[in-house]
A and B are shown apart, each in its own frame.
Chain A
Amino acid sequence: LAKTTQPISMDSYEGQEVNITCSHNNIATNDYITWYQQFPSQGPRFIIQGYKTKVTNEVASLFIPADRKSSTLSLPRVSLSDTAVYYCLVVPYNNNDMRFGAGTRLTVKP
């Protein structure tokens, strides 16, 4: 299983763009990169998933370089409500083995 490494914590201010990078050097050919958000005392919430290049949805963008050994979650113009823990997961295509790393605790300040 590919192990992921992310910064333990990050601080930002309202309105700024936040980029959280995740390293996954041992990613396998069939693995996808998935990001989840978790607020205290709640279950994780899916943010975005990608395989290569760039994926964008209404809440975030995911940048994946050609070698796929890392990925960057980009949150545009964060607000206080984006304060949460963000998890990067590398999962097989069938999502049959989702293991969470330590995650990145993002604090957005006013």
Chain B
Amino acid sequence: GAVVSQHPSRVICKSGTSVKIECRSLDFQATTMFWYRQFPKQSLMLMATSNEGSKATYEQGVEKDKFLINHASLTLSTLTVTSAHPEDSSFYICSAREDTWGQGNSYEQYFGPGTRLTVT
């Protein structure tokens, strides 16, 4: 199946700094990518939907000025956590949707391995 990568896999930063997380679809083009956050022992929470070439759509309660999303190409979306604080420490997971048009429309979605962010 298709592969989605994330970089870095883990990052530790100091409070007040910004951190950028990359999400790449390695062997397919992804018009749409999704960003999730997961706290320990909890489920994944959808943060935003990222569409190539347009502004991301954020879920209610997610600060768009704090979590900057850029989807500049069909294979790369980035999430920047600005002015990070300890409460932003979490596991961030992206997914990419492969749109396949042909005899049948397919919208397979593939998840990345996640990025562990720790803010000290």
Contact surface of A with B, Cβ cutoff 8 Å: 36, 41-46, 87, 93-96, 98-103
Contact size class for B?
20 to 34
How many Å lie between the Cα of A99 and that of B97 in the bound state?
A: 14
A contact residues around B116 at 8 Å (CB)? 41
Cβ A98 vs Cβ B34 within 8 A: yes
Residue in A45, A96, A99 whose beta carbon sits within 8 Å of that of B111 in the complex = A45
A69 to chain B, nearest CB (A): 22
Residue of B nearest to A103 (CB): B43
Cβ B107 vs Cβ A42 within 8 A: no
Cβ A98 vs Cβ B43 within 8 A: no
Contact surface of B with A, Cβ cutoff 8 Å: 1, 4, 6, 32, 34, 36, 43-46, 49, 91, 93, 95, 97, 105, 107-114, 116
Cβ A43 vs Cβ B114 within 8 A: yes
Cβ A42 vs Cβ B43 within 8 A: no
Cβ B46 vs Cβ A98 within 8 A: yes
Cβ B113 vs Cβ A93 within 8 A: no
If A44-B44, A87-B43, A103-B43 touch, whether A98 touches B114 (CB-CB below 8 Å) is: no
How many Å lie between the Cα of A36 and that of B49 in the bound state?
A: 19
If A43-B113, A43-B114, A102-B43 touch, whether A94 touches B93 (CB-CB below 8 Å) is: no
B106 to chain A, nearest CB (A): 9
Residue of A nearest to B108 (CB): A95
Supply 12 further A-B pairs (C-beta < 8 A) apart from A43-B112, A43-B113, A95-B108: A41-B116, A43-B4, A43-B6, A44-B111, A46-B109, A46-B110, A94-B107, A96-B32, A96-B97, A96-B107, A98-B46, A98-B95
